[in-house]
Structure formats: C-alpha cells, structure tokens
Structure 1
Amino acid sequence: MKAINIDDLRRRAQARLPTVVFDYLDGGAEDEITLRANRQAFERLHLQPRILSGGDVDLTTKIFGQSYSTPFLIGPTGLNGLYWPQGDVHLARAADEAGIGFALSTASNTSMEEIARQGSAPQWFQLYPWGKPDFSKALIDRAAAAGYSALMITVDSLVGGKRERDLRHGFSHEIKMSAPILLDGLMHPRWLTSVWLGKHRPRFENLTAFLGEGASDKALADFTRSQRNPNFSWDDVRRIRKQWSGPLLIKGVMCAADALRARDEGVDGVVVSNHGGRQLDGAPATLSALEEIADRLGNGATVLLDGGIRRGSDVVKALALGAQGVLLGRAPLYGLAAGGHVGVARALSILEDEMRRTMIFTGCRRPQELDRRVLVGPEMP
C-alpha cells in the first residue's frame, strides 16, 4: 500500500534500517525534550477555517529571486548514504523534478561537484565552519566554482550535541561493528547488501580533498570530529561575507538579537533552527521562536524555519507566523530510507498535497496571503 503520510514513511524506514542507523536519523540530544517540542509547537496551533473563497491554489514562492514550486526546500543533512546508496543524489534529483530547492551539506556522501551536475535549478551549499579559515575558504571556493547560488553557514553545532542514542551504539559518524550491531545488520538484509556491502559505501566525499582520495572511512570521520571549531565568531562571518558574493544565510538562529546581529553583519537571511533537537536539549521549539524573529527583522527579510515539519499544514503555520519558506530535514529522509528516489518523491508529494488542501480550507490561495489570521489556539492572543 502506498504511504499516505510522512509517519508511514517513518515506519517503513524503521523497518528497513538497522537500529543504529534509524536512531541516528530519528534521534535527538539528551532527553529529546527539544526534539519533541518541535512537533508539539505545531500541534498546539489550530487553523481557522474560511469558506467560499474560490480560486486555484498557487504555491509558487520566490526566495532570493529564484522561483520554486512550493515554499518548502530539502534542507542540508549529512550521511545520507547510510540510508540509501547515493542518498544525496536521490534527494537532489527528486528536488529538481519537483521544482523545489535543495541544500547540500558539507557532510554529504557525494561530492558537491557531482551533486551540482544532478539538476538544472540553482542549489545551495551548507557550510560547517570547521577548522581554520583555510578549510572554509577551500569549500566556499569549490561551491562557487560548481555554481551553488547561496551559502548557508550552520552555527549551532560548533560542539557536538550529546546524542545518547548514538552513544549507546558507539556511533560517531561511523558504524563501529560489534556483535549486536552485526546481528542487527544481518536482520536487515536489504540495507546490508545495498548500503554496507554495496559499491557506494558512505564516506565524507567533500573532505577527501583535505586527506586524499585514499583516506579511510575512519580517517574521514575522525577528521570531522577533530575539526570542530567552538571559537567561530562574528569576525569569521564577516570574513566569509567578503569571500562569498551570493546570498548568505546563517542557520541556527533562535532569538531576535542574533537575527538582528546577522543582518547588521551583512547576512541576507536566517534559518530559525535548533538542529532538529540534536544539539542543545531544552532549547525552545523553532516555531515558538519564529514570530518574534520575523517581526523584529520586518518585511523584506528572508526568514526560513526547520524542525518538526511532518505535515503540509505545518508549512502553512510556519508561513503564517512570518517564515518565507521552510527547510525539510527528516521528512524526505524517511522517504529516502523507505524507498530511495521513489520514497523522497512520495514525501514531497504528500506534503504538497496536504499544503494545498490546508490552503483551501483556510481560504488562502497564495503563500503570500498567509498571516496570523489563519491561526487559532492557546498561543494566539
């Protein structure tokens, strides 16, 4: 039976993946308070039905002058080759076919140059500001040469979150084989033969330029851990702003003061994000932080949101509170893990269909029409 919602895809992903891999995809930091809060914030907000508004729904959205078929984009996520062989390729191709945006992670398992060849629409590159300035500069220069149209700096993972599911498995950017993990892998033969024993073993392909093509999976994983840079600061943002001529975003903004500082430093957009609840446990839900940030930045600011989006109605709620678009993290990854390219396409189709229905029920025909008037609930005045 075809999956009818994102949770169906999640269950299918869980059935196909070994526990160590599913927990990396699904889990959060410490007690997972923030992970749950991201969903609960959407659930607390209700929608105001409006009747007999007429007209066709058009979800077309412009971000940085580029038109997309919907206001949701596939956000940057790493180690996607753990879920399906060449996972980043399937995500990029599905986004291109759907006419939506795609952002590639520094921690992708396919090189940025290869991904740039997968589609015709402009793509974004997400930068982890690891290591010394030369590290960032080399990646930014490659992204510009490959034709990426926007650069997104993720700033909320300068130190690693305490992801306890991963710690229990001994997982840290690489699978360390033990008797329980080996047995679990054998109980998931489709994953084992296609991913672990296949010809596209997941490795950090963007980083081979620093260690050499012959670098082992372990060496690349060790490199990512060694390059964490807790001293990254606004001085570094200014340096990158001078280097990158296109739109620049900061991902990981959770308060208005930081959003305003980013704007003052020449940043073109912010992503309201708590890293999907995978970093600081106890941080507020992204939806709870969104409205003040959007209000303080004012009209014309580019404000995006991620975290907890599982329904098309969630996208409507985020836009009603001031976002111009949202980044999808786990939702398309559940589809990828469940069925590769077909699964990603299904996830995007589900969200688009749900968003169209929600727009009709709330009497809106364009994303630009959405505002707080479509919302009711405990958090609304």
Structure 2
Amino acid sequence: MNKLKIENPWKQNPWFESVAVAQERARKRLPKPVYGALVAGSERGQTIEENQRAYADLRLAPHVAGHQVDRTMNTRVLGQDIALPVIISPTGVQAVHPDGEVAVARAAAARGTIMGLSNFASKSVEEVCAVNDQTFFQMYWTGDRDVMIQRMERAHAAGAKALIATLDWSFSIGRDWGSPEIPEKVDLKTMLRFAPRVATKVRWMKQFAQAGVVPDLTAPNLAPPGGSAPTFFGAYYEWMTTPPPSWDDVAWMGKEWKALSGRPFLLKGVTRVDDARRAVDAGVDGLSVSNHGGNNLDGTPATIRCLKSVTDAVGDQVDVVLDGGIRRGSDVVKALALGAKAVMIGRAYLWGLAANGQAGVENVLDVLKGGIDSALLGLGKSDISQLTPEDLIVPDGFHLTLGR
C-alpha cells in the first residue's frame, strides 16, 4: 500500500495573508529567546498592548457608491518620493535571519519605500545603502560629540538620505514574564550553552549554516575608524556613560548633520505637544510620534491617541510620521487620516523576515498595501492625500493632548 505523503504547506506556499500569520510562522521558526526578544515590551507590557488596541477603537465611515477605479498611495517624506506610506523603522541587531538588514533594505527598495537603519544594526550602513538608496540612518545619543560626528560622516559618505535621532532610549529589561537572555557574544561556549534551546529550530539553524555565519550580536556601525565593532553590551555601556541630551544638544545634532550633508533630520519618540514645538524650534525637519513600540517607558499611551494633537500643532511645519502598533492596512489609513505623512513599522517586518527572509518582508509590505487599497476603495478615495478625520468615527475622549 502506498503511503500518503503530506507536504509542508509552507514549503509549497510561503506566502502569508496577514501580519498575524507572519508572526505565528516566526514564533514556530525562531528559538524561544529570539522570538521573546521581538514580542516582549517592558515591565507589564501595557504600552505594547495599548498601541495595537487603540486602532480597534477607531472606526471607518465608508461610502456606498462613488468609489474610485484608480487609487494611489504615493507620498513624499523628508524629500523622498515613496510608493507606499509605510517606512521601515530602525531596529537593533536582527538575529532572526542571516541576511538581516540587507534583506529588509532590498525588500523596501523593491516596494519603493524608505529603509530605516539602526546604528545598533547587525549590518553596516555601507552594505544597506548599497541596496537601498533611500536609507535613513538612526543614531542614539551615545559617545562624545566627536564620536557622533564621525558616525554622521560615515552615514553621509555611505549615502544616507536623512538622520533619525532617538534620544530617550532606556532599554528597560524589567519584564514581568522575564527577559530573554542576550549573550555577550556568540562563540563555541555560547553555542553549546544555548544548544538545547535552538536544537529543535532546524530551519533557523540551517539558514545560518548555509550562509556560513552565526547570529551576529555586534554593532558594526559603532566601530571606530580602524577598530572592531562593539558587542551589544559594549554599546549599552557607552549609552550608560553618556550624559542624557538637552534641547541644545538636539539643535546641535541637527545643525551638524545638515551642515555636513544638507539632508533632513528627524526626531523619533515624540508624544507631547510641548516637545513637538520645542523640536521644531530646535530645527528638526520631521517627527516620529513614537513610544518605541512599548520597549521603553511602560504606561505611555498609544501613539495613535497622541497623533492628532501633534499634527494639529506642528504638522504644517514638519513632516510627521507615526510609529507603534501597525499590523494592518486599515491601521495605516487611520494614521494618515489623522495627519501622518506615513507610518513606521518594526515588529511586523521582523516577523516577515523571520518567516521568509526578503520575500517575507515584501509579503508584509504587500499585505499592508492591500489593506490600504481596500480602505481607500471603501472610503471613496483615489489618493491617500484625500484622507481626513471625517473618514473616521472617533469615540469621545480618544484623542490625548500631552504637554499642553
């Protein structure tokens, strides 16, 4: 009797229809500590949950007729024309796939959008800019001013089109469910110690073996000229020993970058109106309304609740983008209706990268694009620029104005 052979459906059809499915595939593929580092917010995880839940409180107000045959999503952010109002948010060391940020950058380029690259990335700014000429380089406030200028010069020389500053990083590791262990470096001793936790993740291990590499936990963009890249904990030590920046420091960073490159400067992490106004006074060209995906200070409100107050206050002076909790195309549309020029995604593309490499990231972007298009159709819009708050049903008390 012939035995029935059951094929793995993922092998036959690696495409996925939602970000939720990408997340589930990432969970099954990745070692538990790696997956845990992607999904867990700080402390009780309140902010990461709020970021997503708030979108469900907003409703859409569709039309029954008069729908548009042709619909476009083209927009312009900080001088860059993009085909999709979804930008790759910079995230740190990407050990979910051997190609890491290079695969993400290629996917973003294939879909005509911006790649955000962290200075804690596992791939160099030179490698990433070589495959996506719309790369924005992100810096933390770490090291002295000479070191920061050297990093700006390197990013500019590589071709970065803008600088993103993240100043309020706190790397909160106090998680109620326990924080995943992050090794100092991946050597033979570490691999042996982690072997029981990764032995069942054969496909993940095979990817790295075929690439001839091990998961890289160093930060090449923080390497001094002629020196070696620090480990993640070496970068963390540099941050701990750097005094926090003032608003004068923000102005200095933007001024130095613009004098060097003539290119835009974006401040990430704004939720308060008073901070937004001070940022404009300091000379920024763009703001990201962000709470860093719930990885920073827990208990901060969902960014979509803070968005309208910020766009009302400064949206006519600088480009405002939204970061936090985007999982669907309709989420993107809700943010655009409240004044954002585009949104930034983080966990969503990392799950796509874990699930299927570059093609998985492209898949995530396609899922979001399809959802945006469906919402535009239902709302009777031919262009994302036509979206307004009147396209939404907003419950009383939804919008928050912090820092009046």
- Tell me the TM-score range normalised by the shorter chain: over 0.9
Give 1:160's match in structure 2, choosing from 157, 171, 178.
171
Q: Residues 269-308 of structure 1: matches in 2 within 5 Å?
A: 269-308=286-325
Matched with 2:151 is 139
The SS at the match of 1:244 is helix
How far has the Cα of 1:160 moved from its partner? 1.9
Letter in 2 for 1:65: G
CA contact (8 A) 2:137 2:155 kept: yes
Letter in 2 for 1:106: N
Q: Residues 69-218 of structure 1: matches in 2 within 5 Å?
A: 69-80=83-94, 82-119=95-132, 121-157=133-169, 159-164=170-175, 168-171=179-182, 177=190, 181-195=194-208, 198-199=212-213, 201-202=215-216, 203-209=218-224, 212-213=227-228
The SS at the match of 2:131 is coil
Most deviating of 312-321 and 223-232: 223-232
Most deviating of 236-245 and 191-200: 191-200
Cα deviation 1:170-196 (Å, max 9, x = unaligned): 326757949884312001122223337
CA contact (8 A) 1:20 1:166 kept: no
CA contact (8 A) 1:27 1:165 kept: no
State the alpha-carbon separation in 2 of the partners of residues 335 and 289 from structure 1. Answer: 28
Is structure 2 residue 59 aligned with structure 1 residue 49?
no
State the alpha-carbon separation in 1 of the partners of residues 220 and 41 from structure 2. Answer: 25
TM-score after normalising by structure 2: 0.87
The SS at the match of 2:324 is coil
State the alpha-carbon separation in 1 of the partners of residues 277 and 350 from structure 2. Answer: 32
State the alpha-carbon separation in 1 of the partners of residues 208 and 350 from structure 2. Answer: 15
Q: Residues 9-24 of structure 1: matches in 2 within 5 Å?
A: 9-24=22-37
**Cα separation, partners in 2 of 1:42 and 1:230, compared to 1, 3 Å:** farther
How far has the Cα of 1:11 moved from its partner? 0.2
CA contact (8 A) 1:27 1:163 kept: no
Matched with 1:7 is 20
Most deviating of 335-344 and 131-140: 131-140
Q: Residues 247-258 of structure 1: matches in 2 within 5 Å?
A: 247-258=264-275
State the alpha-carbon separation in 1 of the partners of residues 23 and 33 from structure 2. Answer: 15
Letter in 1 for 2:47: T
TM-score after normalising by structure 1: 0.92
How far has the Cα of 1:85 moved from its partner? 0.4
Bigger CA radius of gyration? 2
State the alpha-carbon separation in 2 of the partners of residues 168 and 335 from structure 1. Answer: 23
Gaps of 5+ in 2: 1-12, 400-404
Give 1:353's match in structure 2, choosing from 370, 373, 376.
370
Letter in 1 for 2:379: T
Letter in 1 for 2:154: R
Matched with 1:226 is 237
CA contact (8 A) 2:329 2:369 kept: yes
The SS at the match of 1:62 is strand
Is structure 2 residue 339 aligned with structure 1 residue 337?
no
Identical aligned residues as a percent: 36
**Cα separation, partners in 2 of 1:180 and 1:143, compared to 1, 3 Å:** closer
CA contact (8 A) 2:352 2:364 kept: yes
Matched with 2:390 is 373
CA contact (8 A) 1:156 1:275 kept: no
Cα deviation 1:140-181 (Å, max 9, x = unaligned): 011111111111101220x32135279543326757949884
The SS at the match of 2:333 is helix
State the alpha-carbon separation in 1 of the partners of residues 111 and 315 from structure 2. Answer: 30
CA contact (8 A) 1:83 1:195 kept: no
* Aligned-pair Cα RMSD in Å: 2.1
How far has the Cα of 1:285 moved from its partner? 0.6
Matched with 2:340 is 323
Letter in 2 for 1:297: V
Matched with 2:51 is 38
State the alpha-carbon separation in 1 of the partners of residues 290 and 177 from structure 2. Answer: 21
Letter in 1 for 2:91: T
State the alpha-carbon separation in 2 of the partners of residues 42 and 348 from structure 1. Answer: 19
CA contact (8 A) 2:50 2:302 kept: yes
**Cα separation, partners in 2 of 1:173 and 1:308, compared to 1, 3 Å:** farther
How far has the Cα of 1:94 moved from its partner? 0.5
Matched with 2:276 is 259
The SS at the match of 2:223 is helix
